[in-house]
Structure 1
């Protein structure tokens, strides 16, 4: 294995001359990747890069996971259905049964399963449409630093000013409120929200729903306390609002449990799931909701690629391999402790530069006071053979999303590389 990470060769001209300027990740990682396995990607020169990005959370089980790959190859080899819209197929039936048996029933969750378009923002759009349809109201409450997707409805409940500006039209029918810790505990949780709801002069149209991430990934790895989430759930019940949890990035075991809200004891009315639900990086999304909310007319919300059968196959294999017991959950929490300890060491070595550490399970953030520092650390990490991205409103946070299947040695290697990158960018 070639571990000599010198300057990467320039990207071939076709990327510059033909592909849109909208491309982003390739700018921070200027090489051409060719193959991947487990926790590593390899470029065309054979250089290995330890992946603490995991497809932005779409590869919780690593690259080309052999169990999932075997199931996929077998399915394709027998000419299994590839494209099925929302037709009934054997692959969909197997997934639904496995999802019910491994995930819903053990947690006593009564959800119906909807397959919207194949991405997270599609699931969010479906959730917002359903909440408004059921409640007959337009307003949805979201939170500061939230990120829910790039389509117009999802952008309306997203906080990032840069992403919102890209819409080109007014983003309406949403109201942002402070996320947990946003006001540094200056006021009691939800005191302002409750006052708005009960004061006829507040100007707040009664919301249909509240949408929230239990951990804000793109927002900077902001972690909501379980008691804050419980308080939000109780507030929604008191005031006849649906609670939507966006689990697109933090679900499928990223925080330990399969759903990120399990620790709090909250049972949302609607849940959005995507990214790692297929387990293999294949596009797939779910919108889950309680049966009494299933007010859709046939075909009222549809999409050409909502029936990605190869994704059903790998999703079923992932559930069978990793979610019939609690071993992956325990392993994720153990690996999370390893990350937490090393990040605490990095902070202790750089007390005037690192703001703190944030995270749960295997999603962690290292925020810097200098908002340009995280980008320099990520660039140096790439030169040293580690892929990490930045997040936060000013991209001031190093964001760690290693595969859940990462080994202790791989985790140690990546954390040592990160520590070196921080030292060498001082």
Structure 2
């Protein structure tokens, strides 16, 4: 317990607490940054329990956040002041050091004093895959999906790999994907972009085309997912759910940590099985982020080639929903998309009556138009609004397949 004498001798102790509260009260501070501020505050308090550190640096905020910050960085580099009692230094400690140093500089700026926090260089980025390796990944994914694996971990990982190859989502963006984010025919997926260092809650929603092989992986996964969530109480919307491995409860939404762990485990298992059989393994990157970065590099290469005039296929989202665009403009696009659905339903009925045979080319073209219109309306609204619209346009439930709705998706939507 501090005394009045301690407060007089070491005013920085109380001043630091007030400074931290001031930073946390800033409405622009995100939850993630707030957690890091509290973490650094605990580390400093831990250091202040050392009489030599307290005696030397707690006399003022200028000392505590100047030379005291330098000493703090050096102590943590040596594995001291650890809050959780780990015996060994963690791997990748540079990331923690960089975060801590960044928060120390932020506190110094807020206090109006020079910062003594050590600046740590960014770690070198892991090499991403060359183009030929990405082609092999597609081939490997196709071979695995065609086996229609019943193992939940493998079936789910194939969906994850497919979506990353198609749209390059971050791990957190994958975890937030729900059943409702899949297009009626599974050919598109909505990705809510949540880039790092962006504090706003308003993010772009990109609607990306899904490759046929990823669609097949989804069709294989959805029935398995239904079995995993059977009997589960609460929300059943998440696309990626746990299969009960380790401490993760069966059927619960898979979090970022669980997704990374399951990916690493499945990659290791796949390589082990193939290698033990004397064959060459499916050369997936060991880390999910490394896979994403490789796909992003490919995407940037496509953009450069297009800018140079090459006839490179366009690779990008089919639709982008920007919450910052004028509301009236978005409403007009949504209304136009929904109007096309009604027209497509009418044309489909008319083609059926005229042809009298569902295999007639006229009916098949009308089905294709209806499927595309339904998908476009879903991209700008959701499944509830789209299905309601189809019903109002007098499309029978038995004809939802003509609008592109896959049976596994309808079953999953019903369970949500």
Between Structure 1 and Structure 2, the one with more strand by share is: 1
Whichever structure has more helix as a proportion of its residues is: 2
Bigger CA radius of gyration: 2
Relative contact order, higher structure (CA 8 A, sep 6+): 1
- TM-score w.r.t. the length of structure 2 is 0.24
TM-score of the pair, normalised by structure 1: 0.23
